[in-house]
Chain A
Amino acid sequence: MAKRQGSAADPLWYKDAIIYELHVRAFKDSNGDGIGDFPGLIQKLDYLQDLGVTCLWLLPFFPSPLKDDGYDISDYLGVHPMYGTIEDFQSFLDAAHDRGLQVVIELVINHTSEEHPWFQAARQAATGSPERDFYVWSDTDQKYRGVRIIFSDTEKSNWTWDPVAKAYYWHRFFSHQPDLNYDNPRVVEEVIKVMRYWLDMGVDALRVDAIPYLVEREGTSCENLPETHAVIKRLRQEIDANYSGRMLLAEANQWPTDVRPYFGDGDECHMAFHFPLMPRIYMALRQEDRLPITDIIAETPSIPETCQWALFLRNHDELTLEMVTDDERDYMYLAYSADPRMRINLGIRRRLAPLVDNNRRRIELLISLLFSFPGAPILYYGDEIGMGDNIYLGDRNGVRTPMQWNGDRNAGFSNATPAQLYSPVIMDPVWGYEAINVEAQQSDPSSLLNWMRNMIALRKLFRVFGRGGIEFLDPANRKVLAYLRRDGDEQILCVANLSRFAQPVDLDLSRLEGMLPIEMLGYVEFPVVEQQPYRLTLAPYGFMWLELHSKQESSSAGVGLTENPPLPFGNNWGTVLEGTEGRRLETSYLMEYLPAQRWFAAKSRQIKAMRVLDWAVLEASKSALALLEVQYNTGMPDTYLLTLGVTQGERGEELRRATPNAVIAPVVVQENSGLLHDAVLDDETCTALLALIENEEQIPARHGAVRGVRGKAFQDVLGSAGTSLHVRRGSAEQSNTSILFGDRFILKLFRRQETGVNPECEIGRHLTEKVGFDRVPPFAGLIEYTPTENGNTSTLGILQGLVANEGDGWKWTIEELDRYYEACAPLALPENLSGELRDIMELAERPPSQRARDHVGIYLDAAAALGRCTAELHLAMASPAGDPAFLPEPLSTDDLKTLMADVRQHASTVFDILKDRVPYLSDEVIEIAGAVLTRRRRFLQRLEALGSSNVRTQRIRIHGDYHLGQVLRVKTDFVILDFEGEPARSLAYRRSKQSPLKDVAGMVRSFSYAAYASLIAYIARHPGDFETLQPWAQLWERSVSAEFVRAYRQTFGSVDFVPASTEEFRVLLDTFLLDKVLYEVRYELDSRPAWLRIPLMGILSMSL
């Protein structure tokens, strides 16, 4: 059956959408009853089209007792009579579509109204009957204890007794909103019917309300459960199977990392709100400091290509402050709600213009941020004219007053007598409808409305706003926010002054040298970017959007420069990879393509030239593998692996739309246009790569050969004939590209190439084929390239068995910690905790205390399992099985001296950098940094002392980049991944033999990171005192680390590669811990200042 197409031609329309949120009730009344309705809304569609928004989000308009503003639905398939009929809705929908507007409606499916017939039937029905089972019932209100109450002002429990049913029913929101039971498949089927009903009418998108709460489980927070995700996936499957061009928008007021799972692998929701960003924009504005914004964006994970964030400044609810700390909330209250009546729940019930004291420049600055951040912006009705609010109305009704159309009676909203209106219009001298209305602003060329219309039109001209990535610049002046947005060859620079005074700023744009910035609004050319800092001066609250054009495309008109024409693709790949066209590919298209790839590591280096070194054709799929040398202005060149494919026709168009970043160049094939692109997107190419390994094929390259090597475990991993090997692609990688084949294989392509033995292949093969260590993904094969000239082989990719797992160790640990803090937060801190907070080595001498066991619980067992697993890995790595590369070697005194000298040098450098950066650190980190800097001398002395110790041990092959993200949780054990070593290090270093305690130190630091990262996230979600909870974090970190070390040491009998004595073990472990924590400080200073406090606290907690 053909899929039912939505109103938009582009299936990814929502990525470029500008959404306008409105309530039918508040927009326009057509029949004079004082309540807005669909015929009224239809009358105003021309206004919305003229404004330029592309999508309308309608708040609930369904039959409802209206005890929660329509979010208590009593009939999913109808229209509330106040707003019109279902025919009126259909007319509205058609009229919106005729104007090119998409429509989002609400799918409120966590709960119904208590008046819904399903609930009425359920309470009357017998226990265990199908009708009863539509809701969540219990004989006791003690089930799911500890689950937070969301509306704690009005509800005392999540359970309410129903005298008819003689049982308690579950509700996460108001007691008149019973939660549906998603463990009942019939509920899911009924919800799907509801969904289909509206989608069949032509609705383009559904906002899924209260999405984290669908399913309940004992012993959990009943939020974000895997079973909830399963329900969402089921809804999405239904949409994908029967409709195209539709969208699901998740409402999950959570931290970005917790919202991320609602995108799934592109198989759950298409969009989700970014809640924590909104208050931080206001905070940054008031504090005149960009950090609140840059920090939250830095903590926002990447999402699948087909997904999008929904961004907003204001909406129908209060400006929620759930996603900020206590201090931040207090600050926001003081900054934005002087009158206590402006506050409600955990937020501020004000509109945009009143929040910024009706300052036009502040409004414009905030809109410029909203429009230029990565996501689809949402405008709340009335904010386009700067409407005010009425804080004397109850609940959040002050921001839900009638739209102000003109200066006539009732603001032109309704012909009813004023007393009949569902809400009074705003009438005060500043905000009243006579001063602020659409009609007046339409006739005022300088009005906010006209400004907004221009901004919307401007934003729509640039696809990069909706589709591009973001990269923040780091100028010294923190009052200035500067960021680059990039989508393919479209690149813009946005600069915003958060201060009320003019500000200068020097931007480091050296890697954009030669680009010509053109100010977007006025199309004014600015000076060409050079190596020197790029200096701009911004007016108070000023912002600037600059298009960046290359010199070539910016040459003066009419001089006859031709734009880059498509590459003619002849009868072989040589036509585009060699000769004149090859030069054009190297000097033009690849220069644009490569730096935009996530896996390209040298983003900060200036590329001088590129050269295709060699290439080979994959016959089966008419694609090619190519090795590209990248030369830089300074330093050694790199070599990158490219997978190249050509696609034409519809598929090509789709590819250009969906994954523009993967497009390398336009080509002409036999006079038809097509695209040269990353062939990983092509299933046939992926399958051909797998076949290359399976069949151990060798294919000729121009100057060498590419060879597939099948591992001994290949057949075992593949299993029986007929195994499905459908192709998927990994979504969250940095330096490599992964291709998944069914649930059997994962092929990892190494993008940055190095000649020599690849440690991941070498170790994987050794562990799988020689020593039979089964706690790693089985090695199933590799693809290698050997040039004829010198025979120096490099590994293009490794094939491994896929391991079924419960997530990586980091994610699993963070979830465990979340539960830990949930459980511990209400508890008083145990007295005399110092015993549990001693040095790790001391603690590791004995089993964990009962207190630690009581609180940390099963994670101690996990830590022990991981310690054993790590020890067994090291034993396996130290078993040469005839291979000298795995033969342990003595760690000589000279080796130790060199190691200590390196660490001391590293320490001095990092302390110097930290000292230089102190003025730029946030207030809360400055204090900790100061404390760390005062310990510099003791730190270095400690290193001296360690250096003088006499440790006798051995070096072996190790993991080299060991942390929780490198292990998978598999039932009650772990599987270890990624033996590549630190990507920035040379191949020789990564293959070198080192003390295994380096791995141990890596994991111990990872425990520390998990403990504090989780605590920071917890504090953000459940505002409380960081200092109060910090001892709980220390308890967890110390006891888990100690148990890990204890199990690690206990696993060995007597081995030469780990010091037997506790003291020698401690010396080596401390050295590696110090080195690691210094590395972390430097990394966070450069990349994630918000996380800097974690390694700094690590240093403070060390016994120096």
Chain B
Amino acid sequence: MEVDSAPQQAVQEIGQINNADLVVGIVADLSHEDVAEVCAALRTLPGSPRIVVLQNRLASDATSTGSDAPAQDSISLIPWALQNQSSPTTSVESMLAAYQSILTIGKRLEVRGCCVIASKLEQAPPKWVCRLAEPLLEASCDFVTPGYARRKFEGLLNSSIISPLTRSLYGLRIQNPMGPDLGISQRLYQKLLDGEQNDKTGGNGMHLLASLVPLVLCGNLQASQAYLGARSYPPSDWTTVSSLLSEILGPIFLAMERNAACWQRMRTSSPVKILGRPTSAPQTTGTVEIDRLVNSFQLGIRDLQEIWGLVLPPASLLELRRLARLPTGQFHIPDELWVRIIYDFALAHRLRTINRDHLLRSLTPLYLGWVASYARELEVAEENAIEQRLERLSLAYETGKPYLVSRWRWPDRFNP
């Protein structure tokens, strides 16, 4: 990741700025008022830090925000064209390019940290952006992750795999390890660059976001979680789950491989520093089509047995077969089974048992099955039951960690 990979136009504009304390990159499609609110909040930060705000130029109504700025402002608002960065082909790649660009500019300006605003937030507390920025400016923290108000059926990939897996592996109890709204210190970014420079074992293209938590843990850095309100998620598109799984889990599993010596030392998890308080959000009325998801699962049982047979031990395969025979009304994937499935897929990824992309895509019916199981369980649950349910899942990941470590260390196919 070279500095020159920042968008050319933004580079020219920031070329006139010698240095700054903070870069805030707005990736989300925020309104003029929202951006103005962000800038206003940033102006309240103690010590009047010099801040560069990169505003996504293609966002709606993003042309005149700077005109409201006071004459001697500590904030420089620079329009910034995310789409010019490269030619990303997926939303994940596009997002990654934006992060890289923001961090690159931050490095050029020798800032203390960078914040990325990638979500449209609802019921956000006042000055929420300061919660991301302040720990970086105070240098009390290297990685500020977001906490969002939970909604039953949103962010399920994160809830079912990313967050509990991160907690189990790296011992950090954070709700959204991959953001998308984040604060990243310059020190953490430098470690990321050093890691990329030193890694000669096939880590090219590793997802930036998947590397952050391992770097925090293995580099003895500090992480925190800032509650930011409720996040607006795009509607679930179950047809693109396969590619999403491949794009997201691939880098996470690669980071596991790279940091095995580190996470295998960690035997407990602990809470991180919390900024703000969790809030609740009205549960949307959207529903999950459980029957359709269970059908997808059963289709997988029929079509993917051969691949799963290479990945999963016989006991897991047998349990899955039993599940496939259950009527939808009784369909339930136990947490222990789900956790073992994820761990076995992570191991198969490491061992290159089959093509990695094929491997991760073959997880799709299992994931949809888990979503169905979860949705059936929480269909009529109260809001506070969500947190308890996900905590139980996280504990199952932690309890199952010895299974992962033993399989990782001695990946004998001859196992129960």
Using a CB–CB cutoff of 8 Å, the interface residues on chain A facing chain B are 7, 9, 49, 97-100, 445-446, 454, 457-458, 460-463, 490, 520-525, 549, 553-563, 566, 666, 668, 670-673
- CB pair B411–A454 under 8 Å, yes or no, is yes
- CB pair B406–A555 under 8 Å, yes or no, is no
- Inter-chain contacts of A559 with B (CB < 8 A): 268
- With A454-B409, A522-B410 already in contact, the answer to whether A557 and B270 are too (CB < 8 A) is no
**Closest chain B residue to A653, Cβ basis:** B219
- Inter-chain contacts of A672 with B (CB < 8 A): 139, 187
- With A461-B409, A557-B395, A673-B221 already in contact, the answer to whether A562 and B271 are too (CB < 8 A) is yes
- CB pair A666–B220 under 8 Å, yes or no, is yes
**Closest chain B residue to A50, Cβ basis:** B352
- Inter-chain contacts of B399 with A (CB < 8 A): 556-558
Name the distance in Å between B349's Cβ and chain A's nearest Cβ.
15
Q: Complex formed: what's the CA distance from A7 to B187 in Å? A: 24
A–B complex contacts, Cβ < 8 Å, 11 sampled:
A9-B198, A99-B201, A457-B409, A490-B265, A521-B406, A521-B409, A553-B267, A558-B395, A562-B270, A562-B271, A672-B187
B251 located at the interface, meaning its Cβ lies under 8 Å from any Cβ of chain A in the complex: no
Contact of B140 among A524, A561, A671 (CB under 8 A): A671
Given contacts A521-B409, A559-B268, A563-B171, could you give 12 more A-B pairs where the C-beta distance is less than 8 Å?
A9-B198, A458-B410, A461-B260, A461-B264, A490-B265, A521-B406, A553-B267, A557-B268, A557-B269, A557-B401, A561-B268, A668-B222
- CB pair B220–A560 under 8 Å, yes or no, is no
Name the distance in Å between A544's Cβ and chain B's nearest Cβ.
13
Name the distance in Å between A152's Cβ and chain B's nearest Cβ.
47
- CB pair A555–B268 under 8 Å, yes or no, is yes
B405 located at the interface, meaning its Cβ lies under 8 Å from any Cβ of chain A in the complex: yes
- CB pair B261–A100 under 8 Å, yes or no, is no
Chain A proximity mask over B53-68: 1 for CB below 8 Å, otherwise 0? 0000000000000000
Name the distance in Å between A525's Cβ and chain B's nearest Cβ.
8
Q: Complex formed: what's the CA distance from A900 to B411 in Å? A: 66
Q: Complex formed: what's the CA distance from A450 to B265 in Å? A: 24
Name the distance in Å between A488's Cβ and chain B's nearest Cβ.
11
Chain A proximity mask over B129-151: 1 for CB below 8 Å, otherwise 0? 00000000011110000000000
Q: Complex formed: what's the CA distance from A462 to B262 in Å? A: 9
Q: Complex formed: what's the CA distance from A461 to B257 in Å? A: 11
List B175-231 residues whose CB lies under 8 Å from chain A. Answer: 187, 194, 197-198, 200-201, 220-222
- Inter-chain contacts of B139 with A (CB < 8 A): 670-672
Name the distance in Å between A173's Cβ and chain B's nearest Cβ.
38
- CB pair A461–B270 under 8 Å, yes or no, is no
Name the distance in Å between B191's Cβ and chain A's nearest Cβ.
10
Q: Complex formed: what's the CA distance from A543 to B103 in Å? A: 49
Q: Complex formed: what's the CA distance from A291 to B140 in Å? A: 54
Q: Complex formed: what's the CA distance from A1062 to B222 in Å? A: 75
Name the distance in Å between B346's Cβ and chain A's nearest Cβ.
15
B412 located at the interface, meaning its Cβ lies under 8 Å from any Cβ of chain A in the complex: yes
B334 located at the interface, meaning its Cβ lies under 8 Å from any Cβ of chain A in the complex: no
Name the distance in Å between B169's Cβ and chain A's nearest Cβ.
12
- Inter-chain contacts of B394 with A (CB < 8 A): 558
Q: Complex formed: what's the CA distance from A714 to B148 in Å? A: 68
B238 located at the interface, meaning its Cβ lies under 8 Å from any Cβ of chain A in the complex: no
- Inter-chain contacts of B265 with A (CB < 8 A): 490
What 7 A-B pairs come out closest when comparing CB atoms?
Answer: A557-B398, A671-B139, A9-B198, A523-B406, A562-B270, A100-B200, A671-B140
B402 located at the interface, meaning its Cβ lies under 8 Å from any Cβ of chain A in the complex: yes
B322 located at the interface, meaning its Cβ lies under 8 Å from any Cβ of chain A in the complex: no
Chain A proximity mask over B375-416: 1 for CB below 8 Å, otherwise 0? 000000000000000000011001101100110011111100
List B249-294 residues whose CB lies under 8 Å from chain A. Answer: 260-261, 264-271
Identify which of B261, B394, B399, B412 gathers the most chain A CB atoms within 10 Å of its CB.
Answer: B412
- CB pair B414–A445 under 8 Å, yes or no, is yes
Identify which of A49, A460, A557, A671 gathers the most chain B CB atoms within 10 Å of its CB.
Answer: A557
Q: Complex formed: what's the CA distance from A520 to B405 in Å? A: 9
Q: DSSP class of A's interface residues: helix, strand, loop or mixed?
A: loop
- Inter-chain contacts of A561 with B (CB < 8 A): 268, 270
Q: Complex formed: what's the CA distance from A317 to B67 in Å? A: 80
Contact of A549 among B168, B267, B398 (CB under 8 A): B267
Q: Complex formed: what's the CA distance from A566 to B142 in Å? A: 14
- CB pair B271–A560 under 8 Å, yes or no, is yes
- With A98-B200, A673-B222 already in contact, the answer to whether A520 and B268 are too (CB < 8 A) is no
- CB pair A458–B409 under 8 Å, yes or no, is yes
- CB pair A522–B409 under 8 Å, yes or no, is yes
- CB pair B268–A9 under 8 Å, yes or no, is no
- Inter-chain contacts of B197 with A (CB < 8 A): 9
- Inter-chain contacts of B412 with A (CB < 8 A): 445
- Inter-chain contacts of A673 with B (CB < 8 A): 220-222
- Inter-chain contacts of B171 with A (CB < 8 A): 563
- CB pair A520–B222 under 8 Å, yes or no, is no
- CB pair B140–A520 under 8 Å, yes or no, is no
- CB pair B270–A560 under 8 Å, yes or no, is yes
**Closest chain B residue to A8, Cβ basis:** B198
- Inter-chain contacts of B266 with A (CB < 8 A): 563
Q: Complex formed: what's the CA distance from A558 to B266 in Å? A: 12
**Closest chain A residue to B398, Cβ basis:** A557
- Inter-chain contacts of B398 with A (CB < 8 A): 557-558
Q: Complex formed: what's the CA distance from A549 to B264 in Å? A: 12
- With A557-B401, A673-B220 already in contact, the answer to whether A99 and B261 are too (CB < 8 A) is no
Contact of B200 among A99, A520, A562 (CB under 8 A): A99
- Inter-chain contacts of B220 with A (CB < 8 A): 566, 666, 673
- CB pair A461–B261 under 8 Å, yes or no, is yes
- Inter-chain contacts of A9 with B (CB < 8 A): 194, 197-198
Name the distance in Å between A520's Cβ and chain B's nearest Cβ.
7
**Closest chain A residue to B352, Cβ basis:** A50
**Closest chain B residue to A568, Cβ basis:** B140
- Inter-chain contacts of A522 with B (CB < 8 A): 406, 409-410
Name the distance in Å between B296's Cβ and chain A's nearest Cβ.
31
Name the distance in Å between A987's Cβ and chain B's nearest Cβ.
41
Q: Complex formed: what's the CA distance from A49 to B201 in Å? A: 9
- With A461-B260, A557-B398 already in contact, the answer to whether A523 and B405 are too (CB < 8 A) is yes
Identify which of B395, B406, B414 gathers the most chain A CB atoms within 10 Å of its CB.
Answer: B406
- CB pair A463–B261 under 8 Å, yes or no, is yes
Name the distance in Å between B41's Cβ and chain A's nearest Cβ.
21
**Closest chain B residue to A549, Cβ basis:** B267
Q: Complex formed: what's the CA distance from A522 to B411 in Å? A: 10
**Closest chain B residue to A671, Cβ basis:** B139
- Inter-chain contacts of B261 with A (CB < 8 A): 460-463
Q: Complex formed: what's the CA distance from A555 to B269 in Å? A: 10
Q: Complex formed: what's the CA distance from A668 to B409 in Å? A: 34
- Inter-chain contacts of B401 with A (CB < 8 A): 557
Name the distance in Å between A666's Cβ and chain B's nearest Cβ.
5
Q: Complex formed: what's the CA distance from A446 to B168 in Å? A: 30
- CB pair A524–B406 under 8 Å, yes or no, is yes
Name the distance in Å between A812's Cβ and chain B's nearest Cβ.
45
List B295-316 residues whose CB lies under 8 Å from chain A. Answer: none
Name the distance in Å between A612's Cβ and chain B's nearest Cβ.
24
Name the distance in Å between A459's Cβ and chain B's nearest Cβ.
10
- Inter-chain contacts of B138 with A (CB < 8 A): 671
Q: Complex formed: what's the CA distance from A7 to B405 in Å? A: 30
- Inter-chain contacts of A556 with B (CB < 8 A): 399
Q: Complex formed: what's the CA distance from A370 to B413 in Å? A: 26
Contact of A554 among B187, B200, B267 (CB under 8 A): B267
- With A553-B267, A557-B395, A563-B270 already in contact, the answer to whether A523 and B409 are too (CB < 8 A) is yes
- Inter-chain contacts of A554 with B (CB < 8 A): 267
**Closest chain A residue to B136, Cβ basis:** A671
- Inter-chain contacts of B260 with A (CB < 8 A): 461
Name the distance in Å between B127's Cβ and chain A's nearest Cβ.
20
- CB pair B410–A521 under 8 Å, yes or no, is yes
Q: Complex formed: what's the CA distance from A461 to B266 in Å? A: 13
Name the distance in Å between A387's Cβ and chain B's nearest Cβ.
24
Name the distance in Å between A465's Cβ and chain B's nearest Cβ.
11
Q: Complex formed: what's the CA distance from A666 to B221 in Å? A: 10
Name the distance in Å between A732's Cβ and chain B's nearest Cβ.
31
Q: Complex formed: what's the CA distance from A523 to B263 in Å? A: 14
